[in-house]
Chains A and B, each alone.
Chain A
Amino acid sequence: MTLPGRARAGRRELFANALTLLVLIAGTHAVAVGALDWNPSRWTAPWSGDVVLVAAGLVFLGLAFLVPLHAGMINLGIHAEFLAGYSVGALIVRGRVFGPAGEAGLGLVAGALAGALVGVVISVLRRKFAVHEILSGLLLGSVFVPIARAISVERVTPPALSIDLPALTQPLRWVPGVGLAPNVVLGWGILLLTFSLVAAVMFANFLRTSVSGFEVRATGSNPLAAGAVGTDVEGIHRSMMALGGAFAGLTGALQLWTSPAVALERWPFPLGFAGIAVAFLGLGSLRGAAIVAIILAAWLNTPYVGTVLANPSYGAAAAALLLLPALWVLPRTFPDFGAPRSIWRTRHRD
């Protein structure tokens, strides 16, 4: 099955992205071994349940960027949506009305809705006031940073997920930093990763086989032509931003389940923007994003990565590498006609 991708990338871009990932992984290892005196022999557990949970978050964030991208929207409000999801989820946890288990689930749903709302606000700002989604997204992100910080968060324990695997009943000695019970990490992680992958496949299928998906692709490729044949271009922008925002908000709320030591928070730049790196490293395709999310999750879970990324110089270098593919992938995601004009303008006019 071919999963539709927004980027028209070829072998050269694929090779460049693979090389970037290789440099990132090998470079972190080399820094750890050389500069930080890391002893590789101490690395006994390359895989942990945390990888699954982190990969799920990265896939969701990748979707948060890719879904609007298919409709021709650059969702740089992804961090605002992520923080909105986190903040609203945290408020629900603070309310202490529903009990820990209920709060965990409700926090996720409320977080997703909050992210969707931010996505809708961004698209409405674009339609009503011609504020480009890049500008409004970044501004909203900066607004949500102090809000998220102001809400003191206590970790919430999701309901125990019963998985009939005896190994999971024992503590997993290689995930002490996460601070979660192993069945939570692995059980919920598997469930959420499965859900994220199913969501990706369903969205790909929606794009390929449904009338609405066809309209989304037409809107993303040429909004003028789509509008001319009667497609509700603004409606599509709004709904895709809402869906993307929901994925980002869900990931934000998911952070409530984990302690600050969780691997995803080792990310070297604002966490919400991880979706952009995943989308571009995955060459704009849903399949690519899923693969990259899993690779990056494994990389983040290597024991020395936290130490390397905590160093400002190495963290900045890693951030640059993660965003580097935007240079060659972003131009390939533009609509058909007059790319620089159409992507930067909010009102298409001949």
Chain B
Amino acid sequence: MGGKEAMLAVRDLTVASDGKSGGNAAVRGLSFDVRPGEIHLVLGERATGKTRLLETIAGLRAPERGAVTVEGEGAGADRRGGGGEGGTPAKARRRRTAIIPRETPVRHLKVIERLLLHATPRAAKLGISWKRGREEAAALAARVGLESLLDVSCEALRPVERRLIEIAGSIRQKPAALLLDEPTSKLGPHEARHFLATLHSVARAEGIPVVIATTWPRDAYPEGSAVTILWRDAEPATVSTAECTEGALVERWTGGLDIQLIPSGPHVAGDPLVRAQGLILKGRGRETSLAGLDFEVGSGEVLAVVGAPADGLDLLHDVLIGNRRPDSGSILFLGKEIAHSPRRLRVESGMTFVNPPIARDQSVEGFTVEENMILGQTHAPPFARRGSLRPESIRGNCLRALQDFEITGATPRTLLRDLGLGQRQRVIVAREVIHNPRLLVVRSPGQGLSLEEQEYVRRTLILQCERGSGLLWLTEEPEEGMRVADRMAVLTAGRLVWIPVTETLTREGIIAEMSGAAA
């Protein structure tokens, strides 16, 4: 990495674990350089310490050991680091770096207000000079191609637009380094590409080094220059994207695990379970509306719907789980209209749901594993009778599930929050499949998990399909759709485009459909 002097240098950095079981692992002895305009990725599953690492680089958290230098500014030992040598002091790093968290912090402001948030142009040192502010904000927004959205509320923006506005707002502070925590986690692959390309062009123009924490190997290509791989408690490794293809990166990430990618299907559809006709629902803000969806899922088959969350995938999921009612159209489940029925009725008629592992609405972290295993299933035997819980049945069910679903290191009395994310998702999947539901509505069930855990979750759900359940699998990941689908549709511009599942189907082909390029 000769040539220009690195603007961001991390040397022998050690970040302690948070000490909780199921919590973040430690990062040990990490070193890398990021030159101006380069994007460096930190790749790791959830709870491997990525966010803590970014916070440490930004000076918000003291490292156990090591040093971070920003803009080649060695200013003695890192006083907060206690032992670091030659790094930029934490206080200076806090001032000179911009960190963008996973959840966008400002949502209720207009875009123009967000862009002017940190340095509002003043009029006579008292009021706000809106004329000058609008000009400045328009120039900033133009850097990310969103100058037409100045008067739109941030809440109404699509996720990718919200992310880009955060970038534009950050560069106004002229940071010496830009740090982003999982910026693509709520984006479809085509949106992620657009976001990373825009970010790269801005970083190059401004000469800012960028560090991105991510769970997606795909984010490294084609914009990333190098990738640091975090793998649980192992030593981190840094590879250059010029020397390592995406496949090789995944192999390196999961090296030695020998994950068996068991092919799914093909399955033959049985009796129709659910039939949606003419589903229409207006999107929130700039989200794409559902413009009349028709689909059917039969027993024993997997229908995968691939799309970006803001292209209608979130809306379709909301309609299926009963969070929102469609403006028009019908959903017949086993011959009954359920489009306007509450979630409980859907569950009672044999429909269950598995959401992404980080979804907050599918488990209670403060409950034990056995309590989470009966959540939503206490209105009928075997777990309750005449209004009272039946502890023996609950305990027996949990013990069986822990064994059958290989949830190691947990007992029925273990609190869910003490388990890792993958183990927690196994508990959820176990709860949802153990009673042979007629239809499983699955939404990105492996998001953020290690490839090993993702594969386990997929395999378990596909096995349920082979037992006769129908699976409606919603995902933003083309590869996931390809892995599981018997039939596949791409959600684009609020409509379904059906794609034949053949051996010639490629990720690029699906992404082209998602972005509308195929048309």
Q: Is B371 an interface residue (CB 8 A)?
A: yes
CB distance from B434 to the nearest CB of A (A): 15
If A8-B366, A211-B379, A350-B360 touch, whether A229 touches B344 (CB-CB below 8 Å) is: yes
- Cα(A34)–Cα(B507), bound, Å: 83
Which residues of A in the span 218-248 have a Cβ within 8 Å of any Cβ on B?
218, 221-222, 224-231
A221 touches B343 (CB 8 A): no
B360 touches A222 (CB 8 A): yes
Most buried by A among B342, B361, B379: B361
Interface residue stretch chosen among B62-70, B382-390, B475-483: B382-390
Residues of B contacting A154 in the complex (Cβ-Cβ under 8 angstroms): none
- Cα(A335)–Cα(B344), bound, Å: 22
B364 touches A336 (CB 8 A): yes
Contact flags B19-34 to A (C-beta < 8 A → 1, else 0):
0000000000000000
A222 touches B364 (CB 8 A): yes
CB distance from A226 to the nearest CB of B (A): 8
Which residues of A in the span 297-350 have a Cβ within 8 Å of any Cβ on B?
335-338, 350
Residues of A contacting B344 in the complex (Cβ-Cβ under 8 angstroms): 229-230
CB distance from A241 to the nearest CB of B (A): 21
Most buried by B among A217, A221, A228, A337: A228
If A209-B389, A214-B389 touch, whether A337 touches B367 (CB-CB below 8 Å) is: no
- Cα(A344)–Cα(B290), bound, Å: 33
A225 touches B384 (CB 8 A): no
- Cα(A149)–Cα(B376), bound, Å: 48
* Count: A-B pairs, CB below 8 Å: 69
A228 touches B387 (CB 8 A): no
A225 touches B360 (CB 8 A): yes
A209 touches B343 (CB 8 A): no
Residues of B contacting A214 in the complex (Cβ-Cβ under 8 angstroms): 371, 374, 378, 389
Q: Is A162 an interface residue (CB 8 A)?
A: no
Which of A221, A230, A350 contacts B364 (CB under 8 A)?
A221
Chain B residue at minimal CB-CB distance from A338:
B360
B389 touches A225 (CB 8 A): no
Q: Is B365 an interface residue (CB 8 A)?
A: yes
Which residues of B in the span 359-381 have a Cβ within 8 Å of any Cβ on A?
360-367, 371, 374-376, 378-379
Which residues of A in the span 22-71 have a Cβ within 8 Å of any Cβ on B?
none
Which of A221, A231, A350 contacts B366 (CB under 8 A)?
A221
A336 touches B342 (CB 8 A): no
CB distance from A22 to the nearest CB of B (A): 30
Residues of B contacting A350 in the complex (Cβ-Cβ under 8 angstroms): 360-361
Which of B321, B345, B364, B378 contacts A225 (CB under 8 A)?
B364
Contact flags A245-288 to B (C-beta < 8 A → 1, else 0):
00000000000000000000000000000000000000000000
Which of A209, A211, A218, A230 contacts B367 (CB under 8 A)?
A218
Which residues of A in the span 166-221 have a Cβ within 8 Å of any Cβ on B?
209-212, 214-215, 217-218, 221
- Cα(A134)–Cα(B258), bound, Å: 55
- Cα(A211)–Cα(B345), bound, Å: 18
Which of B347, B376, B379, B388 contacts A209 (CB under 8 A)?
B388
- Cα(A158)–Cα(B388), bound, Å: 38
If A214-B378, A218-B367 touch, whether A227 touches B389 (CB-CB below 8 Å) is: no
Residues of A contacting B365 in the complex (Cβ-Cβ under 8 angstroms): 221-222, 336-337
A336 touches B343 (CB 8 A): no
B360 touches A337 (CB 8 A): yes
Chain B residue at minimal CB-CB distance from A337:
B360
A218 touches B361 (CB 8 A): no
B387 touches A210 (CB 8 A): yes
- Cα(A169)–Cα(B38), bound, Å: 91
Residues of A contacting B345 in the complex (Cβ-Cβ under 8 angstroms): 230
B361 touches A225 (CB 8 A): yes
A225 touches B363 (CB 8 A): yes
> Number of B interface residues, CB 8 Å?
25
- Cα(A8)–Cα(B321), bound, Å: 32
If A218-B367, A229-B343, A230-B347 touch, whether A211 touches B362 (CB-CB below 8 Å) is: no
Chain A residue at minimal CB-CB distance from B380:
A211
- Cα(A230)–Cα(B344), bound, Å: 4
B376 touches A230 (CB 8 A): yes
Q: Is B417 an interface residue (CB 8 A)?
A: yes
Chain A residue at minimal CB-CB distance from B384:
A211
- Cα(A214)–Cα(B384), bound, Å: 11
CB distance from A335 to the nearest CB of B (A): 8
CB distance from B126 to the nearest CB of A (A): 32
- Cα(A336)–Cα(B347), bound, Å: 24
A224 touches B360 (CB 8 A): yes
- Cα(A170)–Cα(B415), bound, Å: 56
- Cα(A218)–Cα(B361), bound, Å: 11
B364 touches A211 (CB 8 A): no
Which residues of B in the span 380-429 have a Cβ within 8 Å of any Cβ on A?
384, 387-389, 417
- Cα(A291)–Cα(B387), bound, Å: 30
- Cα(A202)–Cα(B378), bound, Å: 20
A227 touches B361 (CB 8 A): yes
CB distance from B383 to the nearest CB of A (A): 8
Most buried by B among A8, A215, A221, A230: A230
Residues of A contacting B378 in the complex (Cβ-Cβ under 8 angstroms): 211, 214-215
Residues of B contacting A212 in the complex (Cβ-Cβ under 8 angstroms): 387
Residues of B contacting A209 in the complex (Cβ-Cβ under 8 angstroms): 388-389
- Cα(A221)–Cα(B388), bound, Å: 20
Residues of B contacting A211 in the complex (Cβ-Cβ under 8 angstroms): 378-379, 384, 387-389
CB distance from A209 to the nearest CB of B (A): 6
Residues of A contacting B343 in the complex (Cβ-Cβ under 8 angstroms): 228-230
A and B contact pairs by CB, cutoff 8 A, 28 listed:
A8-B366, A210-B388, A211-B379, A214-B389, A217-B367, A218-B364, A221-B364, A221-B366, A222-B365, A224-B361, A225-B360, A225-B363, A225-B364, A225-B375, A226-B364, A228-B321, A228-B361, A228-B362, A228-B376, A229-B343, A229-B344, A230-B343, A231-B376, A335-B366, A336-B365, A336-B366, A336-B417, A337-B365
Given contact pairs A337-B360, A350-B361, enumerate 12 new A-B contacts (beta carbons under 8 Å): A8-B366, A211-B378, A212-B387, A214-B371, A218-B375, A221-B367, A222-B360, A224-B360, A228-B361, A229-B343, A230-B343, A336-B366
Ranked nearest first, the 8 interchain pairs of A and B with the lowest CB-CB distance are A230-B344, A229-B376, A228-B361, A224-B361, A336-B365, A222-B364, A221-B366, A211-B378
